[in-house]
Amino acid sequence: MSQPTKILIVGASIAGPMATYFLSKLPNSTITIIERHPSFRPGGQNVDIRTAGVTVMRRIPGMEEMVRERMIHLHAFQLVGNDGKVFASMKTSGNAEQQSLVSEFEIFRDELSRILFELTEREENVEYVFGEEVAALHQGVERGEKKVTVEFRNGKLPTGEYDLVVACDGTNSKTRAMGFGCGVRDHVLPLNAWAAYFSVEKDYVDGERVGRMHTSVGGRSLACGPTLSTGNRVTAFAVHPRHDKESMGLFRAAQKAGDDALKEYVARHFKGTGWHSDEILESMMRSTDFYASEWAQVKVPKLYNGRVVLVGDAGYAAGPTGGGTSLAMTGGYFLAGEICEGGGDIDAGLEAYEKRMAPIIADLQKIPPGIPGIMAPQTRWGIWLRNIIFVLITWSSGFFGWLSKQFASSFGKDKYGLPDYKWKRV
């Protein structure tokens, strides 16, 4: 690679900084990573590092120690009734190679993003630019040029040419739409479910390192868990019947209208659902880290078009399988590793990246039977049946062993044989 390789990464959540870490190892490369928000967005759900994600984490010096320092350290996931009494409690397995519903590496999304930022920001060939986004992409492939001309919306960067544009901007990726000539919602498979995440001042888990979830009819569940300071982080998730397209339309309309409208929508949807729901919703209206998103998968025919490539949710959002974070981490690892293995040949690297990721994506996108409905059943009968299943799981490790085989591949060990790339630094 005699000429400097200019790489633009779009999105500073997990996939973006992870891709940045490994791509910064390429000889003679310069990495610019942009994020449309003015700073790291606080909040978000707790995410799990599993399977191949654990392997990738352990290939980054010091990362596992940083993750362990900021982990939530949940001991169990519990179901509670209207009276707050716990009737089922699933504990961690104690084995990162065979995890339960509670991951051995559970951490808040914003904390994991910040760790990756800290691991990359000091690199001389890396520049972070917040408050900027792509306005237009112009591929030169049709003219035989292996460059992408990028125009920026907010003027923090000048229009420029890049050897590679890496889209890490989520399920509804605008970069994917521009780079692949498709609509923002093309290739997105909705699951008729959504979740809102926010912090509250009060502790609803009695100082314990557990997550507690209450479910009410109509596909509505509220889960509370400890934070790294005081209060709780809350997840409110809603599952609509597959034929109910109107409710998802209302959620998307509120989402477009902004956080205030979205908070009002969430409050109406969960009002009067029992346990501490109304008190929690009142606190939600004051929350400063509120965030909500639709549950969906992304399935694209190709992971790259010309010199625009997809990493993370932009290319293979996993939905409710537990594998999304591991996919994002693995994607950045393979992308950089294959380009490096090819001596800096970006085109060969993109082709190899796609081949490497295909079986892992297929595996970790497998939605377990009954998901997402089992997390928030529609009827009292459905809730009763779900509760019985969880009670059986907590009583019998043998039953869980059988169930885990039917459940997400992300519950097992890393079976993908990730190569140990020999990074060639300048």
CA distance 324 to 333: 14
Antiparallel, parallel or unpaired: β 106-108 and 164-167: unpaired
Whether the CB-CB separation of 222 and 236 falls below 8 Å is answered with: yes
Longest dimension (CA), the chain: 68
Q: Where are the beta strands (DSSP E) in 227-275?
A: 232-239
Q: Per-residue b/e over 258-276, b at no fewer than 16 CB within 10 Å?
A: ebeebbebbbebbeebbbb
pLDDT at 42 over 80: no
Tell me the pLDDT band of 93, cut-offs 50, 70 and 90: low
Residue 379 has pLDDT above 80, yes or no: yes
Taking residues 382-387, report their average pLDDT: 90
**Phi, psi torsion values for 275, nearest 5 degrees:** 55, -130
Give the tens place of pLDDT for each residue, 208-224.
Answer: 888 899 999 999 999 99
Percent of the chain with pLDDT over 70: 89
Which pLDDT value is given to residue 141?
A: 64
Asked whether the predicted pLDDT for residue 405 surpasses 60, the reply is no
Q: Which long-range contacts (CB under 8 A, 24 or more apart) does 153-162 make?
A: 156/129, 156/131, 156/132, 157/32, 157/34, 157/129, 157/132, 160/6, 161/6, 162/6, 162/7, 162/8, 162/32, 162/307
**Ramachandran angles phi, psi of 80, nearest 5°:** -125, 155
Q: Give φ, ψ of 241 to 5 degrees.
A: -55, 150
pLDDT tens-digit readout, 184-240 = 999 999 999 999 999 999 999 998 888 899 999 999 999 999 888 888 999 999 999
Shortest CA distance to 300 belongs to which of 425, 182, 126? 182
191's tokens: 């699951």
Does residue 325 contact residue 49 with C-beta atoms inside 8 Å?
A: yes
Q: Categorize the per-residue pLDDT at 144 as very low, low, confident or very high, splitting at 50, 70 and 90.
A: low
User: From the centroid of its chain, how far is CA 127?
Assistant: 23
Other Cβ atoms less than 10 A from the Cβ of 30: the count is 18
Cβ neighbours of 302 (radius 10 Å): 12
Tell me the pTM.
0.90
> Element (H or E) spanning 384, and its range?
helix 380-395
Q: Are 275 and 82 in contact (CB under 8 A)?
A: yes
* CB atoms closer than 10 angstroms to residue 342: 15
Contacts of residue 68, Cβ cutoff 8 Å, sequence gap at least 6: 105
Q: Which of 56-60, 84-88, 135-139, 374-378 has the lowest mean pLDDT?
A: 84-88
> pLDDT class for 107, splitting at 50, 70, 90?
confident
The answer to whether 56 touches 82, Cβ cutoff 8 Å, is no
The SS3 assignment for 283 reads helix
Give the tokens for residue 116: 């990756």
Judge whether residue 399 has pLDDT over 70. Answer: no
For the chain, counts of helices (H) and of strands (E): 13, 18
Phi and psi (nearest 5°) for 128?
-95, 135
Q: Do residues 168 and 10 touch, judged by C-beta distance below 8 A? A: yes
Question: Which domains are assigned to the chain?
Answer: 5-70+107-187+297-364 (3.50.50.60)
Give one word for 387, left, alpha or beta, with left for phi > 0 and alpha for psi -120 to 50.
alpha
Six-digit token string for 86: 């716990």
